[in-house]
Chain A
């Protein structure tokens, strides 16, 4: 067997792994990256990017249909249609451009990419089996686990055929007439809403009695209203019992204590993701685990010396930007720098329509931490730009310490608010106070004015409410 030696071996070419490899390469660390599929991982290939492409296409199509029904804007469109094969082709083009770009960046940084599936022999030795050809044994000083996560399967409804995971939902051959979405988390709702816009009859089944259960109810209320308005049927507090091709999805309502069946052409199971910890010899390292994920410290170190872990395999929040920041952090430590992964805030975005964005602490979290805090909202109904975008639902909310006005968190819901994540997170990382944001000139007319106004309102100085 061919053997190579390196200083850093990264297992997994997702956003965590490829960023770690690029940064290590830039710092002159001999680096090998093992990835069995395309570089870019779930995020670029079957996650963030393709889903946003599909959501955009669905939104554009829905806009066209909206205008066709007689637009108040005076636009006249006749009978719009969608060629879903072309949509998928367009989406694949974006994915290819991005994954190709990652490959180029890795080459530029001098990273050796082994296209194959890794198997851990011990903490310093990994065998990479390519899809074709001879396996390669890699000896390394540092091993970085960036193996990501995978969709959770329901035992009664294994993926395949009519049962979709998010992966299949992002490359449909046709738009299903009736789509049942199991799980009202962000993945289920993002894709469910997109399919509704593409013309499917969408039904969402969720075991908990509210949508987006990880966010607070005030924040998700506009999303709930939009779901209802769009014609999506919601079955909250209901559990899926099973499926058969003839009748559809069997559901039990805990609240009403009744069973019913939802006919479906396709079922999207989006009940969560679990860290990918099996199937590549990880158990042989006997690392400390924290529940289902690999336990790490503030340096992204596992319980074994010089074995590091980043991204989804280390648990929540399973977000690409967290993995990237952790990857950079590990690469710099391998290069001899002193680094810690200690962000003040990791923003999270939900690309439903309206979108949801959070950064830092919610009022409830701040209170639970024993902080005396103040909070304020600014509704988009009072924002000029939102009116011109026909998108006046939602609000921006700020949370700050009462004693020194240090900003602790931001939450927003509304059309296009995902882009506010940058301003939110930066203000928290910089240690901004309400006055800092309130006394910064925000361009008019933009949605960002709502950010300034929320800060001013918390200070009792709002101008436009």
Chain B
């Protein structure tokens, strides 16, 4: 028997660390070659890590949510034969395995429960310790180890709004426990107001009075005290970091203009009527993409990436369009490469393909990075104005708002027109307001006279 260590793979493109987002095995599991062991996430992509060989899982290299360096030990397997771990190169052993053995997250990771003056705080150890500490001067300060990430996930999965450390039994006298069983109340969901967090008869009464909002005839106007701690991990953490980074670094200059898309809409519907069946329906997005491609030729400073640490702006001839896409996990920005080389239908198909790739997690790596400017659209929820956040290190983002039919004055006549706002943001460090406004006006001119879209 030997030990075989599977390390965090080098996923490429200068990725130095990955975040563990899911385990598909646990210590003690037998695995076969190519079996899916874990999901790790880089800046953009979630990558499945397979087993290189048959074996038995001895230990896991981290908890879900933990960030691991490329090359760090991910899984330790017991294998037939020699394995790949030599005595001389023995690494510090992993945790004991199992939940408890996983390295606990740092203090920055969310605490389980909030102690405090809340009228019905969750019955976690902390609240209880705090009580003990107040009442008893000699009581040492409450110390609650940050629970391992796996525990937090598990408690989040429970239907209970109240998180209790796994394995911690609710503290209640036999009479209270018996009464709770008779009342059909799960004591794990009841706050204990007694010493050391003990659940008293009064706590049970309070829970029964307040907790049965779902019961027929009960008043819907009751105070609710549930809290849920949701760890910000995986894609959500990436999004949070990206947004924070963009807003912290980039002085946003936002500009909103109204565009009359009556003729564009007429053209779009006409094209769909003629070619829709054969080539697919067009949305507004391919037209906007085409308008951006043309306008960007005049305003190359907008189609750029700004490395603010190196102090270099890189302008691109190619237009790699970031397409802000809502996925189940959160916002992603897949990339439609070389939009300048695509006609309307190729563009439409490309947008659909990369968006689908992002949603299903099947996007190729070059479809998840390298965009030079980003389009964002909330579709029918477009609203009147948005303030889009620039997809750092790009310098511009253009958002479309809702199309609405409104009365407009044209030649002294009130006529119905289709109007849409374009909401855009620019990195004011490298794009001046005047240029930004001119760029959007150029886009507007193209969209309002759609024939120009096809004039080279």
Interface residues of A (CB under 8 A from B): 337-340, 342, 344, 370, 372, 401-406, 429-431, 433, 435-436, 459-460
Nearest CB of chain B from residue A463's CB, rounded to whole Å:
16
CB contacts (< 8 Å) of A403 on chain B: these are: 125, 129, 132, 139-140, 142-144
Nearest CB of chain B from residue A327's CB, rounded to whole Å:
16
CB contacts (< 8 Å) of B138 on chain A: these are: 459-460
| Contact, CB under 8 Å: B129 / A404 | yes
| Contact, CB under 8 Å: A404 / B182 | no
| Contact, CB under 8 Å: B181 / A340 | yes
Nearest CB of chain B from residue A321's CB, rounded to whole Å:
14
| Contact, CB under 8 Å: A337 / B182 | yes
Interface residues of B (CB under 8 A from A): 100, 125, 128-129, 131-132, 136, 138-140, 142-144, 169, 171-174, 177, 181-182, 184, 194-198
- Closest chain A residue to B129, Cβ basis: A403
A405–B135 alpha-carbon span in the complex (Å): 12
A298–B235 alpha-carbon span in the complex (Å): 39
CB contacts (< 8 Å) of B132 on chain A: these are: 403-405, 433
CB contacts (< 8 Å) of B125 on chain A: these are: 403-404
Known: A342-B177, A433-B195. A405 touches B139 (CB 8 A): yes
CB contacts (< 8 Å) of B173 on chain A: these are: 429-431
Known: A403-B143, A435-B136. A338 touches B129 (CB 8 A): no
| Contact, CB under 8 Å: A372 / B171 | no
Nearest CB of chain A from residue B144's CB, rounded to whole Å:
8
| Contact, CB under 8 Å: B198 / A431 | yes
| Contact, CB under 8 Å: A404 / B128 | yes
**Known contacts A337-B182, A342-B169, then 15 further A-B pairs from the complex at CB < 8 Å, ordered by chain A residue:** A338-B184, A340-B181, A403-B139, A403-B140, A404-B128, A404-B132, A405-B132, A405-B136, A429-B174, A430-B173, A431-B196, A431-B198, A433-B132, A433-B195, A459-B138
| Contact, CB under 8 Å: B196 / A404 | yes
Nearest CB of chain A from residue B125's CB, rounded to whole Å:
7
- A-side interface mostly: loop
A403–B172 alpha-carbon span in the complex (Å): 18
A372–B174 alpha-carbon span in the complex (Å): 25
Nearest CB of chain A from residue B111's CB, rounded to whole Å:
15
Quick one: which of B131, B197, B198 has the most chain A CB within 10 A?
B198
A431–B169 alpha-carbon span in the complex (Å): 11
A350–B174 alpha-carbon span in the complex (Å): 25
A344–B196 alpha-carbon span in the complex (Å): 15
A338–B183 alpha-carbon span in the complex (Å): 9
A405–B198 alpha-carbon span in the complex (Å): 12
| Contact, CB under 8 Å: B139 / A404 | yes
- Looking at the complex, which one of B128, B136, B181, B195 makes contact with A339 (CB distance below 8 Å)? B181
User: Number of contacts between A and B (CB, 8 Å)?
Assistant: 57
A137–B174 alpha-carbon span in the complex (Å): 39
Nearest CB of chain A from residue B173's CB, rounded to whole Å:
5
- Closest chain B residue to A338, Cβ basis: B181
CB contacts (< 8 Å) of A436 on chain B: these are: 195
Nearest CB of chain B from residue A461's CB, rounded to whole Å:
9
CB contacts (< 8 Å) of B169 on chain A: these are: 342, 344
Nearest CB of chain A from residue B165's CB, rounded to whole Å:
11
Nearest CB of chain A from residue B166's CB, rounded to whole Å:
12
A460–B128 alpha-carbon span in the complex (Å): 22
| Contact, CB under 8 Å: A370 / B195 | no
Nearest CB of chain A from residue B362's CB, rounded to whole Å:
42
CB contacts (< 8 Å) of B139 on chain A: these are: 403-405
Nearest CB of chain B from residue A346's CB, rounded to whole Å:
13
| Contact, CB under 8 Å: B140 / A402 | yes
- Closest chain B residue to A459, Cβ basis: B138
CB contacts (< 8 Å) of A405 on chain B: these are: 132, 136, 139, 196
A401–B140 alpha-carbon span in the complex (Å): 11
A430–B171 alpha-carbon span in the complex (Å): 8
Known: A403-B125, A404-B129, A405-B196. A431 touches B171 (CB 8 A): yes
CB pairs A–B below 8 angstroms (15 shown): A338-B181, A338-B184, A403-B129, A403-B142, A403-B143, A404-B132, A404-B197, A405-B132, A406-B171, A406-B196, A429-B174, A430-B174, A431-B196, A433-B196, A435-B195
CB contacts (< 8 Å) of B182 on chain A: these are: 337-338
A452–B172 alpha-carbon span in the complex (Å): 22
Nearest CB of chain A from residue B205's CB, rounded to whole Å:
18
- Closest chain A residue to B139, Cβ basis: A405
| Contact, CB under 8 Å: A372 / B196 | no
Give the 7 A-B residue pairs with the shortest CB-CB distance, closest first. A404-B132, A404-B196, A431-B198, A431-B171, A406-B196, A338-B181, A403-B129
Nearest CB of chain B from residue A442's CB, rounded to whole Å:
19
A412–B194 alpha-carbon span in the complex (Å): 28
A339–B184 alpha-carbon span in the complex (Å): 10
CB contacts (< 8 Å) of B140 on chain A: these are: 402-403
CB contacts (< 8 Å) of A459 on chain B: these are: 138
CB contacts (< 8 Å) of A460 on chain B: these are: 138
- Closest chain A residue to B187, Cβ basis: A342
- Closest chain B residue to A400, Cβ basis: B196
A331–B362 alpha-carbon span in the complex (Å): 56
A307–B34 alpha-carbon span in the complex (Å): 44
A25–B187 alpha-carbon span in the complex (Å): 29
CB contacts (< 8 Å) of A406 on chain B: these are: 171, 196
A436–B144 alpha-carbon span in the complex (Å): 23
CB contacts (< 8 Å) of B195 on chain A: these are: 404, 431, 433, 435-436
CB contacts (< 8 Å) of A337 on chain B: these are: 181-182
- Looking at the complex, which one of B129, B131, B184, B194 makes contact with A431 (CB distance below 8 Å)? B194
CB contacts (< 8 Å) of A429 on chain B: these are: 173-174
A405–B172 alpha-carbon span in the complex (Å): 15
Nearest CB of chain A from residue B138's CB, rounded to whole Å:
7
CB contacts (< 8 Å) of A402 on chain B: these are: 140
CB contacts (< 8 Å) of A340 on chain B: these are: 181
A459–B132 alpha-carbon span in the complex (Å): 13
Quick one: which of B100, B125, B142, B174 has the most chain A CB within 10 A?
B174
A437–B9 alpha-carbon span in the complex (Å): 57
Nearest CB of chain A from residue B142's CB, rounded to whole Å:
5
Nearest CB of chain B from residue A370's CB, rounded to whole Å:
7
Nearest CB of chain B from residue A350's CB, rounded to whole Å:
25
CB contacts (< 8 Å) of B100 on chain A: these are: 370
A433–B182 alpha-carbon span in the complex (Å): 27
A401–B133 alpha-carbon span in the complex (Å): 13
Nearest CB of chain B from residue A326's CB, rounded to whole Å:
15
- Closest chain A residue to B198, Cβ basis: A431
Nearest CB of chain A from residue B338's CB, rounded to whole Å:
57
- Closest chain B residue to A434, Cβ basis: B136
Nearest CB of chain A from residue B196's CB, rounded to whole Å:
4
CB contacts (< 8 Å) of A433 on chain B: these are: 132, 195-196
Nearest CB of chain B from residue A425's CB, rounded to whole Å:
10
- Closest chain B residue to A343, Cβ basis: B174
A389–B247 alpha-carbon span in the complex (Å): 80
Nearest CB of chain A from residue B145's CB, rounded to whole Å:
8
Known: A338-B181, A340-B181. A372 touches B143 (CB 8 A): yes
CB contacts (< 8 Å) of B174 on chain A: these are: 429-430
CB contacts (< 8 Å) of A430 on chain B: these are: 173-174
A431–B175 alpha-carbon span in the complex (Å): 12
CB contacts (< 8 Å) of B144 on chain A: these are: 403
Quick one: which of A404, A429, A430, A436 has the most chain B CB within 10 A?
A404
A23–B195 alpha-carbon span in the complex (Å): 34
Quick one: which of A372, A403, A433 has the most chain B CB within 10 A?
A403
Nearest CB of chain A from residue B68's CB, rounded to whole Å:
25
A9–B177 alpha-carbon span in the complex (Å): 28
CB contacts (< 8 Å) of B196 on chain A: these are: 401, 404-406, 431, 433
Nearest CB of chain B from residue A457's CB, rounded to whole Å:
13
Quick one: which of B140, B173, B196 has the most chain A CB within 10 A?
B196
Nearest CB of chain B from residue A330's CB, rounded to whole Å:
14
